[in-house]
Amino acid sequence: MLSWAERVKKDLANLNIESLGRVGVLLGGRSGEREISLMSGGGVLEALKSKGVDAHAFDPGLRCVTELASEKFDRIFIALHGRFGEDGTIQGLLELLDLPYTGSGVLASALSIDKIATKQIWLSNSLSTPEFEELTVDSDWDAVVQHLGLPLIVKPAHEGSSLGLTKVRSVEDLPAAFALASAMDKKVIAETCIIGDELTCPLVGFGETAEALPVIKIIPPQANYDFHNKYFSDETQYLCPTGLSPEVNLAVQNLALAAYRALGCNTWGRADVMLDQKTGLPYLLEMNTSPGMTSHSLVPMAAKAAGIDYAELVLWIMSQTLSTVKAKRI
């Protein structure tokens, strides 16, 4: 059986570039991750052009999305991150415009960006994820700590890239952490902080044919994988292969794959996982349905380890819009 990389190379060798038509790359947008989206979209745009694709940038943060119809695009590469790009809203618009697009559909995107809904679905499928609860202004901080323990993580339910995230080490710090997160989102989540290795696992495909790419181990400076260390620091280390045992890598891949399928994700995504240093068990944190494509991004890193370079990865993701079955996109 051919590996994913071998199948990708075979598919791309047979791809008629002209069949993609005029491609729009959505980048920028209005979320807190706009800066990263501009970087991702710029890389995607350059990669598509290097492969001969008639690709054009479209920034819905600067232009009205209704202008998409007048651009006469044949299909869309979504390089937006966070709200208004990764949450099902732009996917819904593209469905109405009858424009094929990359990645997951409306429902899977909306579920995946909501960390509380995501966890509820994972738990209903018996998938391991840290204990959590939704915080409100009326929350009993002592009861929260008694339930989740210390340290714990407080973050907005609909933001990514560690925006608004606080690692809380004492009950006295909870009100400030809640205030920071609630300034960014109406829903705030607190979860038990799993101490151990920080891992991520990219995923490709759909349903039963979906598969996991190599796992990446992340070693940020001072064990702080914040916004800066994710995208701008050269001190953060990424290990692929991870150096973990084959059994642990396989357990992480199987868990990530089950999480991806449970949410109904399509084409590509990335599951963030913590490996508990006490038990050796992996715990799901989040699912990203429009992962970063910057020079520091992790899906391209895993794809490269599997044998596919950045431009090939971008073109393959784009090519999947040629065979999108609308009935299957959820």
Q: Which one is catalytic: 191, 266, 292, 297? A: 292
pLDDT given for residue 221 in this prediction: 78
pLDDT given for residue 295 in this prediction: 79
Confidence of residue 160 (pLDDT cuts 50, 70, 90): confident
| Tens digits of residue pLDDT in 281-312 | 999 999 999 999 987 899 999 999 999 999 99
Are residues 176 and 203 in contact, defined by beta-carbon separation less than 8 angstroms?
no
Checking if the pLDDT of 141 tops 50, the result is yes
For the purposes of burial, counting CB atoms within 10 Å of the CB of 137, is it exposed (0-12), middle (13-18) or buried (19 or more)? Answer: exposed
Active site residue 33: yes
Q: Which one is catalytic: 264, 272, 319, 329? A: 272
Pair of tokens at residue 164: 């608004």
pTM: 0.93
Confidence of residue 223 (pLDDT cuts 50, 70, 90): low
Active site residue 138: no
Q: Which one is catalytic: 109, 128, 161, 297? A: 161
Cα torsion through 146, 147, 153, 156, rounded to 10:
-120
Q: What is the mean pLDDT of residues 255-271?
A: 98
Instruction: For residue 218, list its beta bridge partners.
Output: 198, 238
Q: Which one is catalytic: 33, 86, 197, 312? A: 33
Checking if the pLDDT of 227 tops 80, the result is no
Residue with the two structure tokens 């357990």 = 251
Cα separation, 212 vs 292, in Å, equals: 17
Active site residue 133: no
Q: Which one is catalytic: 28, 32, 128, 231? A: 231
Confidence of residue 323 (pLDDT cuts 50, 70, 90): confident
Active site residue 288: yes
pLDDT given for residue 126 in this prediction: 98
- Per the model's pLDDT, the better-predicted residue between 34 and 223 turns out to be 34
| Tens digits of residue pLDDT in 98-138 | 999 999 999 999 999 999 999 999 999 999 999 999 999 99
Active site residue 231: yes
pLDDT given for residue 226 in this prediction: 56
Quick count: other Cβ atoms within 10 Å of Cβ 303?
A: 25
Active site residue 71: no
Active site residue 161: yes
Q: Which one is catalytic: 24, 270, 290, 329? A: 270
Active site residue 70: no
* Best CA proximity match to 125, nearest among 260, 250, 249: 260
Checking if the pLDDT of 230 tops 80, the result is no
What mean pLDDT value characterizes the chain?
93
| Tens digits of residue pLDDT in 2-28 | 999 999 999 999 999 999 999 999 999
Q: Which one is catalytic: 288, 290, 297, 319? A: 288
pLDDT given for residue 234 in this prediction: 76
Q: Which one is catalytic: 103, 286, 290, 319? A: 286
